[in-house]
Amino acid sequence: MGKEAQWQGQAMTARDCKAMINGWVDDGTFAARLPEVAALRGVSQPLEYHGEGDAYVHTLLAIGEVDDDADPRVFWGVLLHDIGKAAVTEFVRGRWRSFGHEKAGAGQVPEIMARLGFPELAADVTWLVRHHDFILSWDIRPAMKLTGRQRRFTEHALFPLLIQVVAADAAASWGRSRKGEHLRILAEIIEENR
């Protein structure tokens, strides 16, 4: 990770990040510190995939799915994964759509991480946010063969962290989302191709 994120003089874990966020909620400064996340309140999502509620509720549920001992980049990736939805969500042909939210959100990450005091995590968290929906663009099915490009993507140094981000996102999606199933199938495919 290079220079490790520090919190109270110690290497930070997701548990520490959660404690920090809870402190900001308790002292009433959360919305001022993270207006991009607060802006997700009331941002609608398709009910068939997100029965849990708006993008804000989904985000809070997703950070609850992050393992306490996880790398802080996973926590921040999950917390910020949908921030782009506030800017791009539209009701199109009878359904809520958030086309390009990954790119829109990723563009905001460096400033957010610098503002919060973790600029050393910005590049990695940006990559995680940018790619958190990669699995939706892959034709995941049992016994498929990965393309060369897909195989190289799975070899990226941050890919194991990305899988954790996608898993938390999937677990917080109450509805017909198949992300969790696709993750399971992809893990089998990667294992078979080693």
| Interior/surface letters 3-22, b for 16+ CB within 10 angstroms, e for the rest | eebebeeeebbbbbbbebbe
Query: What are the tens digits of pLDDT across the range 72-109?
Result: 999 999 999 999 999 988 999 888 888 999 999 999 99
**Position 118 in a domain:** yes
**Position 46 in a domain:** yes
Query: What are the tens digits of pLDDT across the range 43-63?
Result: 988 777 766 779 999 999 999
Rg (CA), the chain: 17
**Position 181 in a domain:** yes
**Position 3 in a domain:** no
Q: Comparing C-alpha atoms, which of 147, 111, 128 is closest to residue 71?
A: 128
In this structure, are residues 59 and 34 in contact, taking their beta carbons and an 8 Å threshold?
Answer: no
**Position 2 in a domain:** no
Query: What are the tens digits of pLDDT across the range 121-176?
Result: 999 999 999 999 999 899 899 988 999 999 999 999 999 999 999 999 999 987 77
**Position 103 in a domain:** yes
What pTM did the predictor assign? Answer: 0.91
Question: Counting beta carbons within 10 angstroms of the beta carbon of residue 117, is it exposed (0 to 12), middle (13 to 18) or buried (19 or more)?
Answer: exposed
Looking at residue 75, which CATH number applies to its domain? 1.10.3210
The letter for the amino acid at 101 is H
Q: Comparing C-alpha atoms, which of 59, 56, 68 is closest to residue 18?
A: 68
Structure tokens at 34: 């993270």
Asked if pLDDT for residue 117 goes beyond 90, the answer is yes
The number of folded domains in the chain is 1
In this structure, are residues 33 and 23 in contact, taking their beta carbons and an 8 Å threshold?
Answer: no
Range of the domain at 127: 8-192
**Position 1 in a domain:** no
Please give the DSSP secondary-structure letter assigned to residue 147: P
pLDDT mean across residues, the chain? 90
